[in-house]
Amino acid sequence: MMKKVFLYSVLLAFALSACESDDENLPEQSKEGQFVRLMVSDKDNPDYYFVNPSKSTVETHSGQFANGSLYSSPSGRFVSVINTADNLATFFDSGIEGHDDHAHIKGTPKWALSKATAVRPVHYYGRGDNMLVFNDGEGTISHFKESTLHTEASARVFNVGVAHHGAPALFSNGTIAVTEKDGSAAGTLPERVKIVDMNGGLLHASTIQTGGIHGEAGNGSLVLFGSTDGILKVSQDGSQVLIPNLSSFGSNWIGSIQYGVESDQFIGFKSKYGLYKIDVNTNTMSVIEESANLLGVNFDWEGHDLIVLYIDGTVKVLDGHDFDVKASKKLNITLPETGAPAFVASEDFIYITDAANNKISMFKKSNLELVSDITLPGMPSKIALTGSLAGDDHDH
């Protein structure tokens, strides 16, 4: 009898061990949150790669067009896929629904139903349940809701002016700051920003004209736009202020702006020139770093740290609050001959595309040590994080 009891105990222990999640058996340094995923577009083929970085597994999902630009939705569950030249905006569902302290699986990874076919979709902006895509070729906005991506076949589209290379940004009160072209400057760049409602109706007219606008980021109560004349700060009450360029800029100006949610900081960036803090309280800019070797900048997913990439393959991790250097290292990565690789960062890891070798390289954010290389079936182009940073599944 004792032998039978002992054998039963061994078998039970083995069964319980087999039920443990694969994540529990991974080496500590390779663990990523069990609900974090990557979405990667293929440069040459209409394939999109859904990657589980903690297991280095890759699913291929066929799209309609190659080389889509990718943007995480406000909740993190969906990825917006924009094919500008092909006049298409679609969404991919990770199947992971995140909450403040947990996440759970809502379904299998798949394409959502909603799409928009307006002319030349480019700039994307999301807040709350709402997501906007500006259509350069016709001066319209396509409006999606996360809550209806599986039930509504088409986006709601409304007009906001003449066609131009424009951008919208949502305020927390549901109104929209959107660029406006009045023809005072040559080319496709807009010169002004107005505030409209969710149907395109004018709420607050522009009060400041610039020589050209590109790039935007907002925190819910205000939106910053890069312009030839400085940073245009637009508040949801309609007030506008121009934050002057630094005297050292000359003809240079900031055309890329980012906001870190956790750090509550705005930064401006110009490739091969400089990285700047934009203080919305004092309406001033200050230098974080100026260098001809700067190649790319991104906040991590939470907006806590700032990741800076250089032409020689060096990566720096800066604290997003005071911009002190937390880690710096020249990485063994293959950079493209032109442009920059795509890269994103989660709470603990940095992911950088290596198109020449058909892979994504995963680095520990704290010390920039290589964790793994994830091989893809094709050539990676754009990349986005999706899913959730929550650590456990409440299964409901």
C-alpha closest to that of 258 among 183, 308, 188? 308
Does position 392 have pLDDT exceeding 70, yes or no?
no
Does position 30 have pLDDT exceeding 90, yes or no?
no
**What burial class does residue 325 get, using C-beta atoms within 10 Å of its C-beta: 0-12 exposed, 13-18 middle, 19+ buried?**
exposed
C-alpha closest to that of 115 among 78, 154, 165, 68? 154
pTM of the model: 0.89
The pLDDT, as a whole number, for residue 127 is 97
Spatial CB neighbours of 236, under 8 Å, sequence gap ≥ 6: 171, 172, 173, 175, 177, 195, 221, 222
**Mean pLDDT lowest for which of 6-10, 41-45, 164-168?**
6-10
Q: Percent of the chain, pLDDT > 90?
A: 82
Q: What value does the mean pLDDT take over residues 291-308?
A: 97
The pLDDT, as a whole number, for residue 165 is 96
Q: Give residue-wise pLDDT tens across range 40-83.
A: 999 999 999 999 998 999 999 999 999 999 999 999 999 999 99
5 is written with which tokens?
């009891």
C-alpha closest to that of 26 among 357, 353, 348? 348
The pLDDT, as a whole number, for residue 234 is 98
Banded model confidence at residue 35, pLDDT cuts 50, 70, 90: confident
Banded model confidence at residue 106, pLDDT cuts 50, 70, 90: confident
Please report the DSSP string for 188-245 in residue order: S---EEEEE-TTS-EEE------S-EEEEEE-SSEEEEEETTEEEEEETTS-EEEEEP
Q: What is the DSSP letter of 116?
A: B
C-alpha closest to that of 353 among 384, 325, 324, 327? 384
Taking the CB of residue 352, how many other CB atoms lie within 10 A of it?
A: 26
> Where do the domains of the chain lie, and which CATH numbers do they carry?
36-352+372-391 (2.130.10.10)
Does position 346 have pLDDT exceeding 70, yes or no?
yes
The pLDDT, as a whole number, for residue 203 is 98
Q: What is the mean pLDDT of the chain?
A: 90
147 is written with which tokens?
């809550």
Asked whether the beta carbons of 37 and 54 are under 8 A apart, the reply is no
Q: What value does the mean pLDDT take over residues 3-22?
A: 39
Q: Give residue-wise pLDDT tens across range 233-289.
A: 999 999 999 999 999 999 999 999 999 999 999 999 999 999 999 999 999 999 999
Banded model confidence at residue 391, pLDDT cuts 50, 70, 90: low
Q: Percent of the chain, pLDDT > 70?
A: 88
Is residue 104 helix, strand or coil? strand
38 is written with which tokens?
């990557």
The pLDDT, as a whole number, for residue 219 is 97
Does position 383 have pLDDT exceeding 70, yes or no?
yes
Q: How many CA atoms lie within 13 A of 168 on its CB side?
A: 33
Q: How far is CA 238 from the centre of its chain?
A: 27
**Mean pLDDT lowest for which of 32-36, 57-61, 177-181, 225-229?**
32-36
101 phi, psi to nearest 5 deg: -120, 5
What distance in Å separates the CA atoms of residue 206 and residue 240, rounded to the nearest whole number?
8
Q: Give residue-wise pLDDT tens across range 109-150.
A: 999 999 999 999 999 999 999 999 999 999 999 999 999 999
Asked whether the beta carbons of 208 and 240 are under 8 A apart, the reply is yes
